A = this chain, B = another copy of it.
Amino acid sequence: MRIALLGFGTVGRGVDRIVSERALGVEVARILELPDRLSDPRMTSNFDDILADPSIELVVECMGGLEPACSYIMAALESGRHVVTSNKAVVAANLERFAAASRASGAGLYIEAAVGGGVPWIASVEKVRRIDDVTSFSGIMNGTTNYIVDAMRRQGAEFADVLARAQELGYAERDPSADIDGIDVLNKTIISASVAFGVACERSLPASGIRNLTKADLDALAEKGLTVKLLGRGVRSDDRYAAAVEPVAVSEDSLEASVPSNFNLLTLDATTVGELKFYGQGAGSLPTGNAIVQDVLDCASGARCPVYDLTAPLSYDPSLLRADYVFRTTASLGDSEPFAEGTCLVRDLTAEAARALLSDALEHDPTTFMAALA
């Protein structure tokens, strides 16, 4: 099968390397690159060259960002080309449109690499759904924030110092906002909920991050046998579903607490198979490249041709996600009780109400930190 890569950054180079070294019956025939970087005879800076080549059966989009990725994906699907993408932002924003274009042309839409990098999450959720209803999912879906929290906890270091080291190691971007404010996890949660529940997931989900987490917060929670992980979560009950992104105070005995460095751990619960967890590298050139090449091989072998149906009659109901919340703030929270050193507990809030309370508290105390109790 002849394929084209759109983008030749970390992920694109991983795909090219795996395909060439492992001799898989796949050929990277064309590569879309910027005009000043055309260093390989397969490269072009004009997407129309790729679209006009009838020998290209599949397009791998690994450019990132919303545009022109979105337009290129739509054009490829409309032309009957299968699309494999690692771009969570564009998939979270456009899955419904992509799914409609894929259904219309019969081209497959493969998004394994958009969530969990090398972790076989999306294909596993699809496979589980052949038999079961997925009743809930949750996950450590962002390696950068897991690296930060894990290093803070193991080394007793402060957030800013660990973030700086993560940036040196290439685990965090120069502008880390998308990671530390939960935006990256929000995109992955929207995609996971869409695939797990079969709905066009609500996009304005409650989301908060770990920007304000301190060593003192971790120490205080440790005295209760707890630590913090940034989780994306979704739940379904009968004809309703909800989802959210927030720091969660999990038991130090849990598998989540043990996830080291920049690894991911994704969990689902389903009718007959029960609880399943999937762990691996959530990012990186070769793991993410591997996930893309697995999608390409699924397509080439005919093993899997995902055509997403997002029309399950489910309504978004934020009241399904409730928990007790730990706050560390000098702002007044109303009805709260003392919890671990320096923190207090507000009982039985929806994730949405907790996010609103956090926003209020941040206006009075911009260092406020909040986590749900698992």
Task: Mark A residues whose CB is within 8 Å of B.
Answer: 14, 18, 22, 24, 118-120, 124, 127, 130-132, 253-255, 257-260, 263, 265, 272-281, 284, 286-287, 289-291, 293-294, 297, 302-304
CB-nearest residue of chain B relative to A255? B258
CB-nearest residue of chain B relative to A293? B131
Whether B286 pairs with A272 at a CB distance below 8 angstroms is yes
Whether A297 pairs with B120 at a CB distance below 8 angstroms is no
**B-side contacts of A14, CB under 8 Å:** 272
Q: Which of B130, B265, B280 contacts A273 (CB 8 A)?
A: B280
CB-nearest residue of chain B relative to A124? B120
CB-nearest residue of chain B relative to A253? B258
CB-nearest residue of chain B relative to A268? B280
Whether A297 pairs with B130 at a CB distance below 8 angstroms is yes
Whether B131 pairs with A22 at a CB distance below 8 angstroms is yes
Q: Which of B24, B132, B279 contacts A279 (CB 8 A)?
A: B279
Whether B258 pairs with A272 at a CB distance below 8 angstroms is no
Give Cα distance in the complex from A304 to B259, angstroms. 32
A258 CB to nearest B CB, Å: 5
What 5 A-B pairs have minimum CB-CB distances, sorted nearest first?
Answer: A277-B279, A273-B290, A272-B286, A276-B280, A118-B273
A301 CB to nearest B CB, Å: 8
Whether A281 pairs with B274 at a CB distance below 8 angstroms is yes
Give Cα distance in the complex from A274 to B265, angstroms. 14
**B-side contacts of A302, CB under 8 Å:** 302
Give Cα distance in the complex from A260 to B303, angstroms. 34
Whether A287 pairs with B272 at a CB distance below 8 angstroms is yes
A272 CB to nearest B CB, Å: 4
Give Cα distance in the complex from A74 to B271, angstroms. 33
Whether B287 pairs with A274 at a CB distance below 8 angstroms is yes
**B-side contacts of A131, CB under 8 Å:** 18, 22, 24, 290, 293-294, 297
